[in-house]
Amino acid sequence: MPRSSLCALGHGRDELHLSVRLAASDVTLTMTRKVRLSVDAELRRATERDLPALSTWSGHVKGTFAPAVASDDRVLLVANANGRFPIGHLLVDLTGGVLSHLLVLGGFRDQGLGTALIVEGERVLRERGVMHATLVVEKANDGAIRLYERLGYTREGETDEVFDEPMPDGSVQPVGHPSWVMRKEL
């Protein structure tokens, strides 16, 4: 019976990767398993102290989140794992009622954190007297569209969201993404 040994263990955003070498041959078997991590999360308004941890996985810290944390017109909400490390975020524009930059780290999705962030964002808007919420979602993002519709958002129009994206040649170019504009009366 061949013996095996663990050669490497690593992880991606949503997956656990395990390589095993069989002693009887030079065959390497790579197994990939999706894992869901369960954790207690605390929702709160972000502070400057959250920015370094957010910058390890979110590309919006320098240009978007740092100014928002210092602003009276925007609120950055974070979901912190065990009260310490951010695993999700939502940006709330208090002047226009716009919710944006909703993201929950892969292994923590499908546990209600996205819903909780949206509901808290809506509460913050109502508290400031804003009686509607608007958001933009890529048409290809079926999971997010289902979430927003379940929460009462309706499609109100279409737009192209433009993001600067890295190209194979190393340059960065603006790329349009067909998107829905969705709205909910609060």
The 10s digit of each residue's pLDDT in 10-30 is 344 444 444 444 445 555 555
Give percent above pLDDT 90 in the chain: 60
- Give residue limits of the domains in the chain: 4-34, 37-127, 131-186
pTM, two decimal places = 0.77
Q: What's the chain's length in residues?
A: 186
C-alpha–C-alpha distance, residues 56 and 77, integer Å? 17
As a whole number, mean pLDDT of residues 93-104 equals 96
Q: What is the mean pLDDT of the chain?
A: 84
73: DSSP letter: S
pLDDT at position 77 over 90? yes
Instruction: Tell me the backbone φ, ψ of residue 171, rounded to 5 degrees.
Output: -80, 170
> Looking at residue 107, what DSSP letter applies?
G
Task: Give 159-178 pLDDT, tens digit per residue.
Answer: 999 988 889 999 999 999 99
Burial of 181 (0-12, 13-18, 19+ CB in 10 A): middle
What SS3 class is residue 43? strand
Residue found under tokens 């940006």: 91
**Residue 12, number of CB atoms within 10 A of its CB:** 11
The pLDDT tens digits of the residues spanning 46-69 come to 999 999 999 888 877 778 899 999
Pick the CATH number of 37-127 from 3.40.630.30, 3.30.2390.10, 3.40.50.2300, 1.10.10.60: 3.40.630.30
**Residue range 137-166: mean pLDDT, rounded:** 95
| Residue-level pLDDT at 30 | 54
Q: Which two tokens stand for residue 165?
A: 């994206």
